[in-house]
Structure formats: C-alpha cells, structure tokens
Structure 1
C-alpha cells in the first residue's frame, strides 16, 4: 500500500480530532471477535458521525469468518475484507469497482453483496516489510514481559510464514489464511531481523507464525543465520 498511496495516517490511540484533521477517504480497522461488539463498533460509529464520505473497511479473523454478519451487526461499515487484505485494500484504494474486487463483502444500498473469496497470495515476499515507520515503535517495543512471555526485554513480533498444514477444529486460521503454508525467504527474514535490531534496537523476537518450525530445516537455518 505504501508503494502506491503515500498519504497515510496510522492511528493506534484513536482520537476524533486526528481523524477530522486528516479527513481520510478510507479508514481500515482490524477486527477480532472479542473487540468487535464494543471497541471497534464504537470507533466505527465515531468515524461515521463525521460524515458519509469516508469508506470504512474492516478486516481480520472475525470478519473473515462472518463477513455478512459483520455488516449486519454494524450498519456504519461499508466493506468487509475477507482473508488476506493487502491486495483487496489496494484495489479499494485505487478506486476499482467493488463488484470486481474479489475477497470483499460490501453494501449496495440495502443489499449485502458477498464477492468470491480471494485465493491466498503465493509469494508472500511481495508483502515485505511491514511499514513500521508509520507507528510509534518506541512505544510498542518498550521493555515489557508480555511479548517474550515473562522475559522483560525490548521486543516485537515477526511473521516469517502464513498458514498451517493442519485443520484443527478449534482454530480459524484456515478461514483467514487458507490451508497450507507459504514461506517468506530466509534471506528476507534475516534482513528484517537486522533492520529491527539496527533501527529499533530490538533485543527479543517473538515468531508469531502459526507453526514457526513446521519446516524444521528452515527454522534451524534462520536461527543459525
């Protein structure tokens, strides 16, 4: 997205004043089930009160599992992104016709239109690296015992793959990311780690892949490098 649309605002501690000042054309919000019905819906309603011009897009695990229900539950939302949202959001930002964008569910008057799902993108190297410069990394990476589970260090999370080869009944991972695993190249993983250490003084990393060592040889290779 940053390669195609440079005028962006990432608001983590959201304030109405910041949004009014920025006057966004599109607002994207990540939704999980525990946060949807209170925090996220309240944020959506605050944004909608500012006017009907802003397109409100939501994505994330909850939306991927229940896209139509998400729109019915919160009438202020315009579009739900299902599964991986990078390419769908880019097409929305580019002004593509909604009926032509796969991987979304959207409003058309009083109707809710559910487009076909987008296939998982094969080469996740295309999505490197996260635009961390748009958020307050000093705040998010300050020493705390939560990222590294009890180890008090300046730490952050990193993803080196997407998906899982298994189909556990309690997990919704395959709904959002599809079945099977797609790997980021070892070289790019190492480059990202080097950037985190150099630019953000990271002391600890939490690999947030569904299963980091599903390919044990690859995992060992990353650790050795």
Structure 2
C-alpha cells in the first residue's frame, strides 16, 4: 500500500490546520517555507481552521479543496484536547477540588464539571477526526497526510480512527514531505501507516540540518496563507533551535524533536525577527524552543542570537521557556537589552525529591 501511494510525485499541497486555540502556526510556516525553497514549482496553500467558526469548518474545508484542487491534503493536529490549564480555564481548580476538597458540594460540582469536560473532549475529537475522514472519502484520489504535535504523540490512537489510506508523519516533517513530493521511499522517516489491521511506524534516520536554513520568506507565506494578517497583533513564534537534552517525565519535546539540540544560525534568526518587526509591525516574539538556554555549554550561540537582536535595534518584546540556573550578569543584561519581557519556568516543586522523580535535571539550590 505504501509503495502504491508514492509512485507519483506531487505538485500541489493544501495544509489544513485542524481546529485549535488561536496561536501562530509556527511549524506549518517553517514547513511550507522549506518546501517552497526546495521545490519552488510545488503550489501550496494553508487553511487555518482555528480561524473558522465550528459550524463552518466542514463547509470551509470542502470548499477550499474544491477551489485549490491539491494533489495532497496535509492535516496538522496541534492539540487533541479542547481545554487546557490556561488563564481563565478552571480545569485544574476543579481537578484539585474533586480530589482534595473537604466540601462535598465542591466535590460534586467538580465531578459534574469533569464529566462535562470528558463529553466535550470526546465530541470535539470525534468532530476533528471526522474532518479528515470527510476529505478522504470525498476526494479519494488525493493523498491524505497527517502530522503535527498532537498526532506525533497520539498517532497509535488516532490512526485506527481515520481512513486507512492516510499516511502520518511523526515529529518534524520537512524531509519526509520532500520524499513524498518527489515520490521517493520513506523507509528512513518516522512515517505511520495502517497495514493488516495494525498501525506501524518507521524509524527516522536523520533530522533536519537547521544550520543551513535561511530566513523565512514571509512575503511568500502571506501569499499562500489567507489567515496571515489575523496574527499581526499576536505573539509570533520563532524557532532558534530544535531538540531537548532533558527527559522530564511530563514533556515530549525530546521525543518529537530528538535529544540532540540543533541550532539555527543566529544571523538568520535576527533577519527573520527584523522582517517581522520592520515590515509587519510585530512587537511580540515567542521563542518556541524547548528551552532558550538548554545548558551552560549552549550559552555562546544563544548569546549570539541576543547580540543579533540588539545590534539591529529592534522594537520587540520576547519570551520563552527558560532554564535560569546558569544565567550570569552578562547574559541577564543582554536579555534585557534585547527586549525580554517575561519567561516561563518549570520548577514544579520545592522538594528536590519530587524534582528528581520528575527527572527535571536541576538542583533547587541553583534557583534560590
């Protein structure tokens, strides 16, 4: 079945971002930019269903496919839950009340909230996967692909629920998609397929060489992405690296991107942010890496990224996930000079025993 699917090359791709909270689609932007530079004759378009009202998702998807007429439809599943512990969301509070509150009324209310959340989760997931199946059934001659962070984590649960002609890609998709476009074998990629009633996953032999990337061509992205301008007042995600050397129990960055940290050229990052700031008026940057400073040995290249922002005199504010145990005065001053506004820490506990159990890889005395 796999060989049959990739006998022919592909000359047009529609990327469909499945419904999720509104956030800049950083992975799709980097992927589409990469494909354009490697295969400039391949036509691409991005459909962002996070910008579409729920009752219009199916209609919008079908209409876009009919109008663009792509040979391949690549679905991106960013999140699989319709709720998360963000600001204003009571999920965590209700969970704690249910398990630990001594007030029976609070327990009952939290239990009802939990039941409602489960029902919402099941209905939203069912509806999301139905979009894939609807496109696959209605356009049976197109290659159906699926990837994205949520799919990369839950592929073994998702694949049996979608049409068995679909092909999945786990983790970064640049190399695998280029092979699909050119009709090449996928044996050395983390692709997922269904065969004889079971789901199988390949093994990725090589990750993308980020050091050779050039700045994103945002003019091109704007031309293929009708929802582009919807994000100009939002934080824009920029990658400085991929991979994470840590093994925190609750995080899957190293599974999706690999344990080896791979860096983009700081000059390229600076050019990318300068374009966003000066040509599109972007003021807020989110460095969407596993950690901006993964370890002390990485400070030199991270410092160069800060230097690029400072020398370009960019009017931005930036934030990121951060490990701060090795930050010194010089780095702290450059962070401030480059526009850091805040950063997110994951200390998680005041108990070293708990931190060790979670495999976070740091000592509390480094923070306090």
Tell whether the structures are fold-level matches, with TM greater than 0.5.
Answer: yes
Q: CA deviation at 1:75?
A: 2.5
Answer whether contact 1:164 1:181 (CA < 8 A) is retained: yes
Q: CA deviation at 1:63?
A: 2.6
Q: Indicate the larger mover: 108-117 or 86-95.
A: 108-117
Please state if 1:120 is matched with 2:156: no
- Asked which structure has the greater CA Rg, the reply is 2
Q: Distance in 1 between matches of 2:145 and 2:178?
A: 12
Q: Indicate the larger mover: 22-31 or 133-142.
A: 133-142
Q: CA deviation at 1:109?
A: 6.8
Could you say if the C-alpha distance between residues 198 and 6 of structure 1 is closer, same or farther in structure 2, counting changes exceeding 3 Å? farther
Answer whether contact 1:45 1:76 (CA < 8 A) is retained: no
Could you say if the C-alpha distance between residues 165 and 56 of structure 1 is closer, same or farther in structure 2, counting changes exceeding 3 Å? same
Q: Distance in 2 between matches of 1:60 and 1:104?
A: 12
Could you say if the C-alpha distance between residues 118 and 70 of structure 1 is closer, same or farther in structure 2, counting changes exceeding 3 Å? farther
Q: CA deviation at 1:168?
A: 0.4
Gaps of 5+ in 1: 148-155
Match in the other structure for 1:8: 44
Q: CA deviation at 1:140?
A: 1.3
Q: 1:144-197 CA distances to partner (integer Å, 9 max, x unpaired)?
A: 5xx3xxxxxxxx111110011111010011111110211111111111111212
The structure carrying a bigger helix percent of its residues is 2
Match in the other structure for 1:50: 138
Please state if 1:90 is matched with 2:189: no
Alpha carbon RMSD of aligned pairs, Å? 2.4
Match in the other structure for 2:74: 28
Q: 1:7-57 CA distances to partner (integer Å, 9 max, x unpaired)?
A: 111111361211112221111112233268245313212312322111111
Q: 1:108-134 CA distances to partner (integer Å, 9 max, x unpaired)?
A: 57564432234322x213444445323
Answer whether contact 1:105 1:112 (CA < 8 A) is retained: yes
Please state if 1:17 is matched with 2:63: yes
Q: Distance in 2 between matches of 1:95 and 1:50?
A: 23
- For residue 199 of structure 1, the aligned residue among 275, 279, 297 is 279
Please state if 1:71 is matched with 2:162: no
Gaps of 5+ in 2: 1-34, 50-56, 83-123, 309-368
Match in the other structure for 2:314: none
Q: Indicate the larger mover: 30-39 or 159-168.
A: 30-39
Match in the other structure for 1:223: 306
Q: Distance in 1 between matches of 2:277 and 2:42?
A: 25
Q: Distance in 2 between matches of 1:110 and 1:24?
A: 29
Calculate the TM-score normalised by the size of structure 2: 0.52
Q: Indicate the larger mover: 204-213 or 5-14.
A: 5-14
Number of matched pairs: 212
